[in-house]
Structure 1
């Protein structure tokens, strides 16, 4: 059994069954039929990353806060998809264009749900597609409403000579776009991730007043006339706001420094 497999077995054994479970290295070794030294070494590594914690008095171990953190992230994603779906369907009825739901994952935006346009000529990107937060309307709608320090860090670390965009982008261009996005409450992109496409994205906030994702409407640029962009951006922003309210957000478009 590999070290990773052993670590998973240990974490699974520590899952509470009705009440919090604490167990010693010796007990884990006996129950899981693993050498004491191996169990101790794995627990030390898991403890360094917060996946287990040790009671200073009893020296026994239990699950740590990192497990809770990742559990909440998964729950947030499931809740976001469930709450957003009816608003995505309504946005589809209003625009007849492909609708995406994105979530932030560290420095990237990830498509976690999609409803495709009923039109023959349409945009179709796979769920799970991930791009840096400075590429595309769905991602910049998120980046524009993150704390300024976090935005600056992401833009400073970007290698602008080799970013995965179909059109040249620079930090100056992105920062100007982020400023405009903050003012409007939505972002617009043209032909960055897919040639000949236009996207409109608006941010979604959690009950913690933190931007966690975005609602996006995308389609062939030829159909996105100025009149259509004005109409679609209104609905994208409207339904993103309603999703945020359903999630418990209380102060729309407040950017933290």
Structure 2
């Protein structure tokens, strides 16, 4: 299997445009890579079914497909998000003195992709790369709240609510109510769901194409998240999340209320 994957990667590398769009026949690909024509044809068929290459109906030549572009844009968005968000994370950290996380979505999970630790000795410190279902934790739930309705439904319809990895019991009705509230107030707040004794405030980040791309999260020990601090921190978190969105090219402010 690893040999087939390696050959597929070599084919994709060969089709990478060099200044202009590149198209090659099965025979040309086979000759260039020293690969049997039948093997090249079989691998190209698999790549074509998944959208990684496409074949011209007339010339029968192959070029890179839209799936390559899709994954490239996802990677670019992730890199851009971290780069753009970092100075705003630093400013939010100075304002709150709490741990600041940057999260993004990967399929049905939210993932921490950057972090600035609190200067306090007592602080929350979760690892970058931590994954949890999108309905657990403020940083994840605020992303879920702003996904299209069909996407939310697809992610929630088959959840076994008796086996979710949360410290607090959850139900579909509770999550639906939470998502409605998040869209009304424009931020999420959770306590003790992923880690005992901690509170998090998350605000959505939107990309240039008006879709939710991630979230900014302020988190720390619940004892420091008093009513007054929650009001202040949520205001700061929304402010800097909005500034990140603006830097990423987001303009449609009304889209968030849909």
Contact 1:147 / 1:255 at 8 angstroms: preserved in 2? no
Aligned twin of 1:99:
100
Aligned twin of 2:222:
221
SS of corresponding position for 1:134: coil
The answer to whether the aligner puts 1:118 opposite 2:114 as a matched pair is no
SS of corresponding position for 2:18: coil
Question: 1:51-200 counterparts in 2 under 5 A?
Answer: 51-200=52-201
Question: 1:36-51 counterparts in 2 under 5 A?
Answer: 36-51=37-52
Q: Which runs of 5+ in 1 are unaligned?
A: none
Residue 158 (structure 1) shift:
1.3
Aligned twin of 1:211:
212
C-alpha change, 1:11 and 1:256, in structure 2 (3 Å) is farther
- TM-score, L = length of structure 2: 0.97
**Corresponding residue pairs, total:** 257
Residue 252 (structure 1) shift:
2.4
Q: Deviations over 1:118-169 (max 9, x none)?
A: 1111111111111111010001111111111211221112111111111111
Question: Which contiguous aligned blocks of 4+ residues in structure 1 show a shift greater than 4 angstroms?
Answer: none
Q: Which runs of 5+ in 2 are unaligned?
A: none
Task: Please identify, of 17-26 and 85-94, the stretch whose mean Cα deviation from structure 2 is larger.
Answer: 17-26
Q: Take 1:35 and 1:214, find their aligned partners in 2: how far apart are those partners? A: 48
Task: Please identify, of 155-164 and 110-119, the stretch whose mean Cα deviation from structure 2 is larger.
Answer: 155-164
Q: Take 1:235 and 1:256, find their aligned partners in 2: how far apart are those partners? A: 19
Q: Take 1:72 and 1:154, find their aligned partners in 2: how far apart are those partners? A: 22
Q: Take 2:150 and 2:35, find their aligned partners in 1: how far apart are those partners? A: 45
Q: Take 2:129 and 2:35, find their aligned partners in 1: how far apart are those partners? A: 37
The answer to whether the aligner puts 1:241 opposite 2:247 as a matched pair is no
RMSD: 1.2
- TM-score, L = length of structure 1: 0.97
Q: Deviations over 1:72-112 (max 9, x none)?
A: 11111111111111110010011000000011122211111
Task: Please identify, of 143-152 and 180-189, the stretch whose mean Cα deviation from structure 2 is larger.
Answer: 143-152
Aligned twin of 1:2:
3
Q: Take 1:30 and 1:147, find their aligned partners in 2: how far apart are those partners? A: 46
Question: 1:1-40 counterparts in 2 under 5 A?
Answer: 2-40=3-41
Q: Take 1:91 and 1:130, find their aligned partners in 2: how far apart are those partners? A: 23
Q: Take 1:256 and 1:177, find their aligned partners in 2: how far apart are those partners? A: 14
Q: Take 1:226 and 1:234, find their aligned partners in 2: how far apart are those partners? A: 13
